[in-house]
Chain A
Amino acid sequence: MDKTENVISIENLSFGYRHKMVLEDIGLEVPAGSIFGFLGPNGAGKTTTIKILLGLLRVPDDHVKLFGKEINHHRIEGLKLTGTMVEDPSLYDHLNATENLRNNCIIRGVDRKRIAKVLEQVGLTADAHRKIRNFSSGMKQRLALAQALLPEPRLLMLDEPINGLDPAGIIDIRNLLIDLNVNHGITIFLSSHILTEIEKLCSHVAVVHNKHILYQGNMEDLLNSNRDDIRLIVETDQPEKTKLLLGDLYTIETSGANRIIVHLPYRNASAQVAKILVEAGIGILLLQPDSHELEASFLELLKAN
C-alpha cells in the first residue's frame, strides 16, 4: 500500500444502539504509516468505531473501508492484515500466557516461534508460563498487545492500550509502538482519553465528541489551530535579563523565582526564543512547551462545539 493511501476510511457513517445514536454522519481517514490517535471523552463512540472497523458491529455497505476494501464484503482480507485489542483484554484466565498466544497462533496460522518474540517485545518473557488469573491488569494489557502483534500486522488497532499500565509500562509501550511504526512501517490506530500520551505518541489525531468528529488531521495542526496562545516555559541563568529581552517581543509572566512563561503567537516561535537567548549569551536551563497544549486545544474544540 502506498504511504499516501488511507488504511482506514469511513464516510458518512451513522450508528446507534436501539434508539440512541452514538455516531452521526462521521468521516475518518487514517493515512498509511501514521500513528493515529482517536481522542474523545468516555462514551464518545471510540470503542464503537473500532468495533465497526473490525466488523463486530454491523453497518450498511459502502461506509467503511479497511485497506481500501469495503468491510462487509472483504472483512477477512482486512482482518488478516490487522492486529487488534478492543476494550478489556480478551485472555483466557485458566490458560497461561504462552497458551493464550498459542490459541491465537492456531486461528491466525502463525508459527509458534513468534510467541517468544512477541513476549520479549512486550517484556513478558519471564511470565510466559504464568496463569493469566495471576496477572496484574498492566500485564494483561501487555499480553493483549502481544496477541495483536502475533500475526505481524500492517495495521494495529488498539483501544485504550495504556489503561492499567504503570508509568514504566507506559514508557515501554510508547517506545515499542514508536519502534513498530518507525522501523517496521506499521500503521497504528489507537483510541485513548489520555491526552498527554496521544500528544507524545501520535502523528495524526481525530477528536470525537457528541456523535461527531470535531477535528482530524496532523497533531501539529491541531496544536497550532484553535489557539491564540501557545505557552513556552523558560528557565535561564539570568532571569532578569531574560525578562527584559523577551518582554519586549512577547507577552510574558513569571512563575516562581526563575521560571518565565512566554506566550507565543505560533508554535514554532519557540526556536526564535532559543535563538534570541543564545545570541544574548544567556544560559538556557529549561525551554519546553507547556505540556498541556493538547489538553487546551481539546478543551477549546469541545467548547467551540
Chain B
Amino acid sequence: MKENFANDFIKIYRTEWFKTKKTLAFWLIFLYPFFCILLVSLKFLGDKQPSADPWSDFITQANNVMSFFLPHFCILMVSFATQIEYKNHGWKQIYSQPVTRLSVFIGKYAMILSLTILSMIVAFFVISGMGLLIHLIKPSINFVVTFFSIEIYARLFFLTFLASIFIITLQYWICMRLKGFMPPIIAGIFFTIIPIAYAMIMGIAGLLKKSKEILKIFEYDPYSYPFSTLFHFQITKTAPTSLITDTLQVHLCLALCILILAAIDNQRRSVFA
C-alpha cells in the first residue's frame, strides 16, 4: 500500500512538472521575484544616502516586498496550476488512470510547494544579479564592500515560504472544489483584504489607534500574515527574533488540518469536470 502510494506519487509528481513547463504557473516563479526585486532596485537607485550594509538591506527589503505580494502570488499560482486541468478536461483523465486518488492530490500539491521554493531560489539569483547591476550603475552604493549574507537570505525566505503554506493549502482545496478561474481568485483576494478593511473601519471608528493593535489583526489572518512580518519590521525596526513564531505555528497546524480534510474530501467526492 505504502509502496503503491510512493510509486504513484513519483509518477504524478513527474507528470506535474512535465505539464507545468510553459504554463503561466511556471512563468510566475520568475516574474514574481523579478518584479518585486526590480521595485526594490529602483528604490535603491533613488536613495540619496547609501546604506552602510547594502546587501543586508537589499535582501531584507526584497523579502519585504516579496512578502507583501506573496498572498497574490500564491493565489495566482495555485489557480494557474489547477486551472490547466479544468481548461483541458484533465481531471477526468488523471482520475481514470491506474493510480491512487491520494497520490494525484498530494502530487499536485507537492509540485505547487516546489514551485514556491523554486521562486525563492530564483529570487536568490535575481537579488545577487540586481545587486551587482546596481553597483555597476551606481558605484556609490558599494555592494562589493560587504558580503552577501546567505544566512540572512535563508532565514527570511524560509520564513516567507512557511507563511505561504497555509495560503497555498486553502487555495488548493478551493481550486479543487470550484471550477473556473475567477471564483478561487475572488475567494483568495477576499481573505487577503478582509483584515485590511476591518482595520480601516476600526481605525475610522476610532476603535483602533495603536499600530500594534493593527498588526495583531493582520497576524490573525494567515493571508495577510506574510506582509504582517513586513509591518512588524517597519513598526519595530527589528526583524522578528524567533524564526517560527507562535502565530506561524498555529497557521501551519491549521494548514495541516485543511490538507487532511481536503485529502479526505478528494477521496470521497465524484469527479464531474
Residues on A facing B (Cβ under 8 Å): 51, 54-58, 75-77, 79-80, 84, 86-95, 99, 102-104, 106-109, 147
CA distance A80 to B100 in the complex (A): 12
With CB as the reference atom, state the residue of chain B lying closest to A95.
B19
CA distance A76 to B102 in the complex (A): 13
20 contacts between A and B (CB under 8 A): A51-B92, A54-B96, A56-B271, A58-B268, A76-B4, A76-B99, A86-B96, A87-B92, A88-B89, A90-B90, A90-B92, A90-B93, A92-B90, A94-B22, A95-B19, A95-B22, A99-B18, A103-B15, A107-B99, A109-B11
**Which chain B residues numbered 132 to 173 have a C-beta less than 8 Å away from chain A?**
none
Q: Is B269 an interface residue (CB 8 A)?
A: yes
CA distance A51 to B92 in the complex (A): 8
Report whether B270 and A91 are in contact in the complex, using a CB–CB cutoff of 8 Å. no
Give A156 Cβ to nearest chain B Cβ, in Å.
13
Give B126 Cβ to nearest chain A Cβ, in Å.
25
A56: contacting residue among B18, B23, B87, B92, CB under 8 A: B92
Report whether A56 and B14 are in contact in the complex, using a CB–CB cutoff of 8 Å. no
CB-CB contacts of B14-34 with A at 8 A, as 1s and 0s? 110011001100000000000
Q: How many A-B residue pairs have CB under 8 A?
A: 77
Give A203 Cβ to nearest chain B Cβ, in Å.
25
CA distance A76 to B101 in the complex (A): 10
6 new A-B contacts at CB < 8 Å, known A51-B270, A94-B23: A51-B92, A54-B95, A86-B93, A103-B18, A107-B11, A107-B99
B89: contacting residue among A51, A89, A102, A106, CB under 8 A: A89
CA distance A21 to B100 in the complex (A): 28
Chain A contacts of B84 at CB under 8 A? Answer: 92, 94
Report whether A93 and B98 are in contact in the complex, using a CB–CB cutoff of 8 Å. no
Give A211 Cβ to nearest chain B Cβ, in Å.
18
Give A79 Cβ to nearest chain B Cβ, in Å.
4
CA distance A121 to B92 in the complex (A): 24
Which A-B residue pairs are the 10 nearest by beta carbons? A90-B93, A79-B98, A54-B96, A80-B98, A56-B271, A57-B270, A90-B89, A76-B98, A106-B15, A88-B89
Contact status of A106 and B98, CB under 8 A, knowing A56-B271, A86-B92, A89-B89: no
Q: Is B62 an interface residue (CB 8 A)?
A: no
* Max chain B Cβ within 10 angstroms of own Cβ: one of A79, A93, A103: A103
Report whether B268 and A87 are in contact in the complex, using a CB–CB cutoff of 8 Å. no
CA distance A75 to B98 in the complex (A): 7
CA distance A55 to B91 in the complex (A): 12
Contact status of A106 and B90, CB under 8 A, knowing A80-B98, A92-B84: no
CA distance A103 to B99 in the complex (A): 14
B96: contacting residue among A77, A84, A109, CB under 8 A: A84
Chain A contacts of B18 at CB under 8 A? Answer: 99, 102-103, 106
Report whether B19 and A103 are in contact in the complex, using a CB–CB cutoff of 8 Å. yes
Give B199 Cβ to nearest chain A Cβ, in Å.
41
CA distance A76 to B95 in the complex (A): 10
Chain A contacts of B268 at CB under 8 A? Answer: 58
